[in-house]
Amino acid sequence: MSVMPTPAATGRGEWSKRGNLLASSYYSKGASAGLAACDTQDKWAVNRAVWAIQKLLNKAGWPFEYSSAPGVFGAKTDEVVRKYQAANALTVDGIVGPQTSKSLLRDIVAAEEKTNGIPNRLLWGQVGAESSWDTGCIGYTTPKDVGICQINLYYNQSISCDQAADPLFAVPLSAKRLRTRYNEYKVYGKTDALTWDAAVLSHNSPANALKLIKTGTYPTAQSKAYVDMVKRNAAVK
């Protein structure tokens, strides 16, 4: 199990050079280093991003042994990424940017939406709103938020940093939480649409979500903006 270094003043952000990102805004051959060399949050985030990509490739049916060098984007990872891209009508360049990452995540998120009865691709939209589907995202303004679902390690101390960074853990957990909140909020008797809106908002602010479902009115402009952002991202293919 890895240990995330002390968070930077600002996080790595997503698909950008915000914060203290040392390399590029995507993942390709040469990215990351062994965990022993991950002495900053940025290096750790890139290592865990590549590790997550390797796990997603395995899950998608493109297995290779990543455990010998987890999180290191070496020649074998480059080879498998290119094969995956060729098989999925993606640009074959060995670069994992937004399009390849979304492709790797799409079936996993859709399966959890189906299992948990989440409508309108809301879980997909939440992942997009939180991280832009970047497996190395760490909160830009809240550095304790980790991974594609931006699980906050301060408020979720039973969850390890590696679990938060692992899409195969974070996506099912977020799906179950979204469904649980919807079930809890149904007792308030609001419309189905508003109940889902409150469930979505609970990931960003449980307090504001409760105010929304009790009153039927968004308590702040920011809370409505968050739900609107999730819905916009839900439409992203």
Residues 218-224, mean pLDDT to the nearest whole number: 98
Whether the predicted pLDDT of 231 surpasses 80: yes
**pLDDT value of position 19:** 47
**pLDDT band at residue 63, thresholds of 50, 70 and 90?**
confident
**Joined tokens for residue 126:** 């939440």
Q: Write down the domain spans for the chain.
A: 35-234
Average pLDDT over residues 28-50: 87
pLDDT tens per residue across span 171-213: 999 999 999 999 999 999 999 999 999 999 999 999 999 999 9
Looking at residue 40, its pLDDT comes to 82
Distance CA(42)–CA(20), nearest Å, equals: 6
Question: At 3, which amino acid appears?
Answer: V
pLDDT the model gives residue 38: 86
pLDDT at 85: 98
List, for residues 117-166, the tens digit of each pLDDT value. 999 999 999 999 999 999 999 876 677 899 999 999 999 999 999 999 99
At 37 the pLDDT is 85
Using an 8 Å Cβ cutoff, are 81 and 94 in contact?
yes
Share of the chain above pLDDT 90, in %: 72
What values do phi and psi take at 15, rounded to 5?
A: 45, 40
Is the pLDDT score of 99 beyond 90? yes
Domain range 35-234, its CATH number among 1.10.530, 1.10.287, 1.10.10, 3.40.1710? 1.10.530
Q: What pLDDT was estimated at residue 77?
A: 92
Q: What integer pLDDT is reported at residue 36 of this predicted model?
A: 85
pLDDT of residue 66: 59
pLDDT for 12-33, tens place per residue?
666 765 544 455 678 999 888 8
CB 60 within 8 A of CB 53: no
pLDDT of residue 235: 97
- Note the pTM of the prediction, 2 decimals: 0.94
Instruction: Tell me how long the chain is.
Output: 237
* Residue 13, helix vs strand vs coil: strand
Reported as a pLDDT band with limits 50, 70 and 90, residue 9 is low
Please give the average per-residue pLDDT across 77-83, as a whole number.
94
Q: Which residues pair with 138 in a beta bridge?
A: 13, 146
